């Protein structure tokens, strides 16, 4: 099955930028959408951004719209999440996911990476 390896997290100050990377490998059926989710301590996992691998469609949660950008590099089979103007409320463990449909629902994604921690200090 497809495997996702997430990296790029770190500790930054409010207003700084980070770029997260999700390396995609392995075989999978009906894996045409990729997405980013995040989960802060004591909170439910929430949707961040999604796109189809062909780049025809992208969507973002309102909380990150205008600050975050999802993109992919086909030759390298890599998905990125560029995060600009980071805020303390962005602090969370970030997960890359792959599935059939580019939606905001966790249930539409069958494969998940291990996650990477992003901490934004005030």
Q: Render pLDDT for 24-63 as a digit per residue (tens, 0 to 9).
A: 887 665 568 999 999 999 999 999 999 998 888 999 999 9
pLDDT computed for residue 77 by the predictor: 87
| C-beta separation of 96 from 22 below 8 A | yes
Cα Dmax for the chain: 43
Pick left, alpha or beta for residue 80 (phi over 0 → left; psi -120 to 50 → alpha; otherwise beta): beta
pLDDT digits (tens, 9 = 90+) for 67-117: 999 999 877 889 999 999 999 999 999 999 999 899 999 999 999 999 999
Nearest-angstrom CA–CA distance, 55 and 36 = 15
- Residue 15 is encoded by which pair of tokens? 């207003």
Nearest-angstrom CA–CA distance, 52 and 39 = 22
Can you tell me the mean pLDDT for 18-27? 90
| C-beta separation of 104 from 61 below 8 A | yes
């Amino acid at each position: 099955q497809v495997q996702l390896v997430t990296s790029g997290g770190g500790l930054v100050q409010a207003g700084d930028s980070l770029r997260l990377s999700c390396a995609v490998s392995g075989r999978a059926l009906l894996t045409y959408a990729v997405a980013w989710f995040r989960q802060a301590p004591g909170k439910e996992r929430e949707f961040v951004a999604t796109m189809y691998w062909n780049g025809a469609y992208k969507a973002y949660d309102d909380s990150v719209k205008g600050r975050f950008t999802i993109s992919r590099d086909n030759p390298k089979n890599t998905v990125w999440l560029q995060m600009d103007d980071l805020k303390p409320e962005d602090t969370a463990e970030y997960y890359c996911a792959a599935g059939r449909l580019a939606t905001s629902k966790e249930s539409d994604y069958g494969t998940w990476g291990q996650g990477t921690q992003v901490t934004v200090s005030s």
